[in-house]
């Protein structure tokens, strides 16, 4: 089944899904289910309806990669508002009225209901009495997608209502589904996938646009690492408390599960890292499917019908009267899935990923490249500008609905999960080191492998602690924009520490723009690198393909930027960026609002301009210097249950973490 060529409407099967929101559903008739789940062709159509739900912009089509990616040292959304809001979850500031949270909640439960109905009726139908290979495969796809929905639901909302039964079997829709501890939910998902995975097809037998056996085992590894890691837990005796970071006492057993599952993917030999890093994503932008390389499961968006990948990512393209002109034939792009301004400077300068991923300019409507002298940079992994019009596809001028696939699971991720789990269970063994080296080798020119790969990994393997740090750093450089970084930080109880120093980076540069900052030396010491943040940058507009290996579009002009690490003087052919990193408000006598309020729910300036840390919703004196990260409060990354869900449950559900009901 080539999903890219299927029109994913599912209109004939809408009766199988939940209605507009959770706990208000229409149960399909028994006769309808008996007909559908007694015919393999109809089962295939019913399965397709789960894909329809998965591709919603309220979840995987857009929001998970934009408005519900929380700020960190990789992904970042600048915000200048000095007041609390309902929907600013990226900066840990929102309420139970926030639409982004409620839309995700409703869509995930709609997706779960669709998957529950499919799985229950197929398991209890005649075709599952003696299942064919294809029936097993379709069951596996449904269970993998259901695992995705519940897995991401627990990440966003913590302990949640949980059931594998469809509504029409459960019966009384007026009785709320019980809230279940997230670890119990994750254990149920692992057991469910372990049961079906051996019966599923490998990627070589199907396609990365369908969940495969390799994806099932990769999901087990991902879920198990989460189960064994830290999460924010509520203080049920004090709903105004933001809670505390906790992990299970038997957490190591989950690392063993993750290690075993990731090793199965590696030992299958199906996936390799043969293509260059950039080519993986350029191929996705050109609708090219690679079944034996890095992607393990790609969200199969339909061409020009679903998914905003490459519209939100990549350079912004402005418009004039809703269009672009001249050589800029791709149309406008929002480019609002941004990266932290300092992310670029965390890379080794020889890392091939850096200059491909980090975009320092955008385009005017006529195709003129313009320096992005801003608080963020663009994420150039995907862009509609990379589409060449090959593979029988025209250039995509849509304002969204690009149909570009998104890699929900990659082999590089599995290798790094294995390295992390193996390190926790057995230490930095040769197997763990080789997994890390495999990912890192692709990121550097082969001539650099000695010092930048082999020696680097060997040095990192001095202890479990140093090796874990190296693995998490590699994930930071490898997985930008893929929803990984904030979860990695939570899982290892590092989120507060990283946000603390992220806030100080923005503040120190802002203060330096107005004179000097007392935080600058501490930031450089923490980062372990010499000063790298430029006050000025110099650029010149040139034709591509001078750097085609970095920037795939050969039609539009690009910017040639002088190395910002060096104390360069202005070159005759280069322009000086105006006010680059000039983040100081002369009139107010303090850094600009974007420096002060982009982490509003964790750290900000008070009304008098003094820096504050936020603990259980209360402003407290900003701790500096700190002798231990235990001095820092937790990050409230958990979203509130939507107010409408609480009302429908007649008070059975309750918000914690400082949210009001």
User: Tens digit of pLDDT for each residue in 354-379?
Assistant: 999 999 999 999 999 999 989 999 99
pLDDT level of residue 580 (50, 70, 90 thresholds): confident
Asked if the model's pLDDT at residue 261 lies above 50, the reply is: yes
As a whole-number percent, the residues of the chain with pLDDT over 90 amount to: 79
What value does the mean pLDDT take over residues 305-330?
92
Asked if the model's pLDDT at residue 194 lies above 90, the reply is: yes
pLDDT level of residue 392 (50, 70, 90 thresholds): low
Asked if the model's pLDDT at residue 1 lies above 80, the reply is: no
Q: Among 41-45, 191-195, 569-573, which stretch is predicted with the lowest mean pLDDT?
A: 569-573
Phi, psi (degrees; rounded to nearest 5) at 406 = -115, 130
Question: Contact, 403 vs 304, CB < 8 A?
Answer: yes
* HSE-up of residue 632 (Cα within 13 Å, Cβ side): 22
pLDDT level of residue 393 (50, 70, 90 thresholds): low
pLDDT level of residue 537 (50, 70, 90 thresholds): confident
What value does the mean pLDDT take over residues 611-630?
96
- Name every residue whose Cβ is closer than 8 Å to that of residue 451 and which is 6 or more positions away in sequence: none
What value does the mean pLDDT take over residues 139-149?
98
Query: Residue 322: what pLDDT?
Result: 82
Asked if the model's pLDDT at residue 7 lies above 60, the reply is: no
Query: Residue 264: what pLDDT?
Result: 98
CA pair distance 26, 588, nearest whole angstrom: 57
The CB density around residue 628, as the number of other CB atoms within 10 Å, is 8
Q: Among 203-207, 231-235, 389-393, which stretch is predicted with the lowest mean pLDDT?
A: 389-393
Question: Contact, 115 vs 145, CB < 8 A?
Answer: yes
Asked if the model's pLDDT at residue 6 lies above 60, the reply is: no
pLDDT level of residue 25 (50, 70, 90 thresholds): very low
Question: Contact, 224 vs 262, CB < 8 A?
Answer: no
Within 276-337, strands assigned E span 295-299
Which H or E run includes 233? Answer: strand 231-233
- Name every residue whose Cβ is closer than 8 Å to that of residue 394 and which is 6 or more positions away in sequence: none
Residue 8 vs residues 203, 352, 385, 474, 492: alpha-carbon distances, Å: 21, 37, 25, 36, 38
- Name every residue whose Cβ is closer than 8 Å to that of residue 623 and which is 6 or more positions away in sequence: 613, 631, 632
The CB density around residue 44, as the number of other CB atoms within 10 Å, is 14
Coil/strand/helix, residue 425: helix
pLDDT in tens, 158-176: 999 999 999 989 887 778 9
Question: Contact, 116 vs 146, CB < 8 A?
Answer: yes
Asked if the model's pLDDT at residue 394 lies above 90, the reply is: no
What value does the mean pLDDT take over residues 312-325?
92
Q: Among 249-258, 408-417, 534-543, which stretch is predicted with the lowest mean pLDDT?
A: 534-543
Residue 138 vs residues 18, 44, 261, 550: alpha-carbon distances, Å: 21, 7, 21, 39
Query: Residue 15: what pLDDT?
Result: 35
Query: Residue 223: what pLDDT?
Result: 99
Question: Contact, 561 vs 360, CB < 8 A?
Answer: yes
Q: Which two tokens stand for residue 242?
A: 């933001």
> Which of 269-278, 447-456, 538-547 is modeled with the greatest confidence?
269-278
Question: Contact, 436 vs 457, CB < 8 A?
Answer: yes
Query: Residue 536: what pLDDT?
Result: 74
As a whole-number percent, the residues of the chain with pLDDT over 70 amount to: 92
Sign for the pseudo-dihedral over CA of 581, 583, 587, 589 = negative
Sign for the pseudo-dihedral over CA of 194, 199, 205, 209 = negative
Within 365-518, strands assigned E span 369-371, 376-379, 406-410
Query: Residue 68: what pLDDT?
Result: 97
Query: Residue 171: what pLDDT?
Result: 80
Query: Residue 581: what pLDDT?
Result: 77
Q: Which of 563, 566, 608, 603 is nearest to 589 (CA)?
A: 608
What angle (nearest 5°) sits at the alpha carbon of residue 182, between those of residues 175 and 601?
A: 100
Query: Residue 175: what pLDDT?
Result: 86
Query: Residue 13: what pLDDT?
Result: 37
Which H or E run includes 145? Answer: helix 133-157
CA pair distance 45, 487, nearest whole angstrom: 34
Query: Residue 29: what pLDDT?
Result: 52
pLDDT, mean over the chain = 91
Asked if the model's pLDDT at residue 576 lies above 80, the reply is: no
CA pair distance 262, 254, nearest whole angstrom: 12
Phi, psi (degrees; rounded to nearest 5) at 521 = -65, -40
CA pair distance 630, 635, nearest whole angstrom: 12
Phi, psi (degrees; rounded to nearest 5) at 317 = -125, 115
Asked if the model's pLDDT at residue 10 lies above 50, the reply is: no
**Between residues 23 and 265, which one has the greater pLDDT?**
265
CA pair distance 397, 217, nearest whole angstrom: 38
**Between residues 327 and 353, which one has the greater pLDDT?**
353
* HSE-up of residue 578 (Cα within 13 Å, Cβ side): 1
Query: Residue 237: what pLDDT?
Result: 95
Asked if the model's pLDDT at residue 495 lies above 70, the reply is: yes
The CB density around residue 631, as the number of other CB atoms within 10 Å, is 13
pLDDT level of residue 350 (50, 70, 90 thresholds): very high
Which H or E run includes 339? Answer: strand 338-340
Question: Contact, 80 vs 114, CB < 8 A?
Answer: no
Question: Contact, 444 vs 350, CB < 8 A?
Answer: yes
Q: Which of 518, 489, 529, 510 is nearest to 637 (CA)?
A: 489
End-to-end CA distance of the chain: 45
Asked if the model's pLDDT at residue 31 lies above 60, the reply is: no
Residue 282 vs residues 290, 412, 513: alpha-carbon distances, Å: 11, 17, 38
């Amino acid at each position: 089944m080539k999903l890219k060529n299927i029109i994913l409407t599912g209109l004939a099967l809408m009766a199988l899904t939940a209605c507009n929101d959770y706990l208000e559903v229409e149960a399909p008739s028994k006769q309808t289910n008996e007909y559908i789940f007694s015919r393999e062709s109809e089962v295939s159509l019913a399965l397709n309806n789960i894909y329809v739900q998965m591709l919603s912009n309220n979840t995987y089509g857009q929001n998970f990669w934009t408005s519900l990616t929380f700020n960190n040292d990789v992904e970042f959304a600048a915000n200048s508002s000095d007041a609390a809001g309902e929907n600013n979850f990226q900066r840990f500031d929102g309420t139970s009225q926030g639409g982004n949270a409620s839309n995700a909640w409703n869509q995930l439960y709609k997706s779960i209901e669709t998957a529950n109905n499919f799985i229950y009726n197929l398991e209890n139908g005649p075709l599952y009495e003696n299942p064919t290979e294809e029936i097993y495969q379709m069951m596996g796809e449904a269970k993998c997608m259901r695992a995705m929905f519940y897995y991401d639901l627990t990440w966003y909302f913590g302990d949640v209502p949980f059931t594998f039964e469809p509504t029409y079997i459960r019966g009384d829709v007026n009785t709320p589904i019980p809230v279940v501890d997230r670890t119990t939910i994750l254990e149920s998902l692992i057991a469910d996938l372990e049961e079906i995975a051996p019966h599923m097809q490998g990627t070589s037998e199907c396609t990365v646009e369908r969940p495969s056996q390799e994806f099932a085992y990769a999901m087990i590894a991902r879920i198990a690492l989460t189960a064994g890691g830290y999460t924010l837990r509520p203080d049920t005796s004090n709903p105004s408390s933001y809670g505390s970071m906790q992990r299970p006492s038997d957490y190591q057993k989950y690392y063993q599960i993750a290690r075993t599952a990731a090793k199965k993917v590696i030992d299958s030999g199906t996936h390799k890292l043969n293509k260059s890093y950039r080519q993986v994503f350029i191929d996705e932008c050109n609708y090219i499917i690679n079944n034996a390389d890095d992607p393990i499961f790609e969200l199969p968006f339909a061409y020009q019908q679903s998914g905003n990948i490459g519209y939100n990512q990549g350079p912004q393209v402005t418009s004039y009267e809703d269009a672009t002109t001249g050589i800029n034939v791709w149309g406008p792009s929002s480019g609002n899935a941004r990266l932290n301004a300092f992310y670029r400077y965390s890379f080794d300068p020889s890392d091939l990923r850096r200059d491909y991923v980090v975009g320092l300019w955008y385009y005017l409507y006529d195709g003129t490249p313009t320096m992005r002298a801003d608080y963020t940079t663009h994420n150039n992994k995907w862009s509609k500008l990379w589409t060449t019009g090959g593979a029988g596809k025209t250039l995509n001028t849509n304002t969204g609905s690009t149909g570009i696939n998104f890699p929900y699971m990659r082999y590089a991720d599995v290798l790094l999960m294995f390295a992390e789990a193996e390190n926790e269970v057995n230490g930095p063994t040769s197997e763990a080191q080789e997994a890390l080296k495999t990912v890192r080798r692709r990121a550097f020119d082969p001539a650099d492998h000695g010092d930048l790969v082999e020696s680097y990994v060997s040095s990192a393997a001095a202890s479990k602690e140093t090796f874990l740090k190296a693995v998490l750093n590699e994930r930071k450089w490898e997985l930008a924009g893929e929803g990984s970084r904030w979860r990695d930080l939570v899982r290892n109880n590092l989120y507060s520490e990283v946000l603390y120093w992220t806030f100080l980076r923005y503040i120190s540069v802002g203060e330096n723009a107005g004179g000097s900052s007392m935080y600058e030396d501490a930031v450089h010491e923490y980062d372990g690198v010499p000063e790298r943040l430029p006050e000025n940058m110099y650029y010149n507009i040139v034709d591509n393909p001078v750097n085609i290996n970095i920037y795939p579009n050969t039609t539009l002009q690009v910017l040639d930027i002088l190395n910002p690490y060096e104390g360069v003087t202005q070159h005759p052919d280069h322009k000086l960026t105006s006010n680059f990193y000039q983040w100081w408000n002369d009139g107010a006598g303090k850094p600009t609002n974007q420096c002060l309020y982009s982490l509003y729910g964790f750290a900000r300036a008070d009304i008098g301009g003094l820096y504050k840390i936020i603990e259980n919703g209360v402003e407290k004196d900003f701790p500096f210097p700190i002798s231990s990260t235990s001095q820092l409060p937790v990050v409230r990354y958990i979203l509130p249950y939507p107010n409408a869900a609480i009302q429908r449950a007649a008070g059975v559900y309750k918000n914690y973490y400082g949210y009001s009901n």
